[in-house]
Structures are given as structure tokens and as C-alpha cells.
Amino acid sequence: MRIIVFEDYAAHSFEPLTLTRGVFDLRLGLFSLADRVKHYMQVEQVDFLARNHIAEHIRARRKAKANEPEAIDDETVFINGLLVFNSELRSIVQKLRLETLVTKQGRIVLARFSEARAREVAPLLANAPGVEALKKVREKALEEVEYEGDALLSSPWEIVERNFLQIIDDYETMPRLRLRIPPEATLIGRRRNVYVGRDTAIDPYVTLDSVKGPIYIGEGCEIHAGSFIEGPAYIGPGTVIHPSSIIRGGSNIGPDCNIGGEVEATIIHGHVDKQHAGFLGYGYVGEWVELGPLFANSGGRFGNGAQGFGGMIADHVKASAGTLVYAGRSIGVASRVSGHVWENVPSFVSYAKTGGQPVCEIDVEEVLKTARRMAALREEEFTPADEQLLRRVFELTRFEREAYRPCGTG
């Protein structure tokens, strides 16, 4: 049996984060959405159906098939990439009969088809299909079942909102491997709710508070003196938490990050620099992002108990010292921002309106040069597939910048 994870039209609701990745590569809890499928289905590999401009990058990065329906050689289960997969959904998959769809409000949640029918269906599920294409898929099925659960996502805010409890749920599914907690660290709560990976160094005067949820710290991390980490929290391998940092509950920090100041209920993908004082809350941050000293976004829990979405920061964004991003705003791929950001920022622009500067278009060659340099500093490879993806996204988002001149042309 093959498993193929696909995108539907809701993937566009997660842009600009999903301009450079499949929606199934978004993080939630201890896994990406795609890796969650692998974890619960107990398989080493899944294949993908995605928007055309990212398919080649998926093949290179994940070493998997993407948009290759001709490779189907067995009965196939199709799984929506915005499905927060769990053991209950695994049971549904196992009981699903051939040529059957599981749908929710017109969206396909799951499907199981024989080899021949799967080859017909797969092209219809490529390139984040809209309603009309999904209708054609439904015509291929002999049976349709309505999904009653709430695990199908439709907006980025839902990921941030669910992340707190998802870290707790995922931690409970992990093997009970717990390594040392240095005696110099202060532990509040249960020891069983703290996992510290191998080769991770925790300085004296670090406080780990697991009262509200577990704390998972990956391998090779550095947690420096005076830091406070409140669960539920995930800190990925190789990440450095700088002295006197505050990591509040619901924080989900990916691999190889440098984090300082205060972070609350925010998902950070990886290779992100936020080393200095400032606040980052209730938002979602991509990869290769740099946030300068005293960067802050407006998001969090208000006096009436409601939560405000802190917004999205896409890959390769650079924010100057003192930047303030208003609640719910998005910053596009590779843009550079400073001052107050009170509106959504397109991809590949320089935005400094409060400094009296006009918005202008950043040349893609300059973006590529910076991306290569940042990767080299972290001893990572910036691959031809990475370069091609950024070039494609630059062209794909050109319409957003029609009103702006190239930077440096006056």
C-alpha cells in the first residue's frame, strides 16, 4: 500500500509560509504534519502531491516522490496534508474500503483507491486542487463518508492555537527515555515531564517549569544561565537559548536556532536568529529568519481571555532592531522590515515606511547571495534546488510588487 499526502486549495491560506514549503511541512507539536503521518502509520516514507512550483524542491529535500502519479504501483491511501494525524485517524484508514472517500464540508480528508483508480485520481489532487477538481475526484469513488472530527486545519491561526495541547499529546506518545537534569538547574513540577537529549548542556540557574506541560529539549542544545523554560515546550536539536531568556508555554522552536528575549506560544521552524531582548508571541516563523534586538510582535492573550494571532513571518525575512509588527500581519518571503509594520508585507521587498522610505523591490540575486552566506555560516548547504525554489517564488509573487520600483533606483 502506498501513502500519498496531498495539498488542497486551503494551502493558499497559509501563504506566505507555504510559498516555500508544502503545507504538510508545517510544524505542529513535536512533528511536521507529514512526519506525523509517518509516525502514526509506522512507515519510513510517504509520497506527495503538491503545488507545481515546490514539487522539485520536495523531491530534493525529502528524497521522496512528488507529483509523480505514474509511480503508483499499488492500492493507495491519499491523506490531506492539513490533517493533524493521530491514532484515531490511523484506525479510520485501516478500516477504509477501496474506492472510498472521507470528506468534510466538501474537502477531501482521506481516500483509499485501487491501483488503477489511484492513477486516475492522483493528477486531480496535484497542484492544490480547487473545488471543481475535487468534484472530479469524488466522481471516482464508490462510497463517501463524512468526517466528524476536528483534525482538518483551514487557517494558520489554528496551528498556533492547537500547538499548546499538541505538544502535550505528542510527548505522551514518545518513548520514556529521559536523560540527566543537572542538579544546578531548578525543576518545578514532575521530573517525568522533562526530556533532555544527549550532549545538551544546561547551565546553573536555569529553571524548568513542567507544571502546565512537558518540556522536550533535543540533542546538542545549549541552555544558558538565568533562562526560564515553561512547558509545554519543544526545543529542537542544536538550538541555543541565550542567558536570561524566557520561553513560555506553547513555544515550539525548531533545530539550530539562536533564541533570546521572550518567546510565547510561537512556532519557529529552524535556523532562526532571535538572540536579543524582545518579544515574539502567538505567531509562526519560517526558516532562515533574523530578528534584530528589541523586535516585538503584537499577539497574545488579551484581558478578556481571547487570544490574538501574532501573524506569520516567512522564510529568509530580516527585521531590523526595534521593529514592531502589529497583530495578525504577515511578512513575505525574503523581505526586510524595520520600524512599525501595520500592514501585510509582500515578498521580496524592503519595508521601512516609518523611516520615510518608499517600499521597494529587492533583487532576487541579492537575496540568493545572502541566503548562501547564511547557510555557509551555519555549515549548511544552499543547494541548487533551494536556489531554484527562491527564483520561482520571486516570479510567482511578482504581481504583489507591481507598484514598487527596484531598490536603489530612486
Domains of the chain with CATH codes: 2-154 (3.90.550.10), 157-401 (2.160.10.10)
pLDDT reported for residue 308: 79
At what angle are helices 33-41 and 87-95 packed, to 10 degrees? 60
CA distance 390 to 67: 19
CA–CA gap between residue 351 and residue 345 (Å, rounded): 7
Element housing 369 (H / E): helix 364-377
CB 16 within 8 A of CB 26: no
Q: State the pLDDT at residue 302.
A: 45
Question: What pLDDT does 304 receive?
Answer: 41
List b or e across 117-130, with b for residues whose CB sees 16 or more CB atoms inside 10 angstroms.
bbbebbebbbbbbe
Distance CA(115)–CA(362), nearest Å, equals 47
Name the pairing type of β-strands 360-361 and 349-351: antiparallel
Q: Which residues of the chain have pLDDT under 50?
A: 302-306
| pLDDT at site 173 | 84
Q: CB–CB of 372/366 below 8 Å?
A: no
Residue 259: name the closest of 242, 271, 247 by CA. 242
How far does Cα 145 stand from its chain's mean position?
A: 29
Q: How high is the pLDDT of residue 303?
A: 44
Structure confidence at residue 179 (pLDDT)? 61
Determine the length of the chain: 410
* pTM of the entire predicted model: 0.94
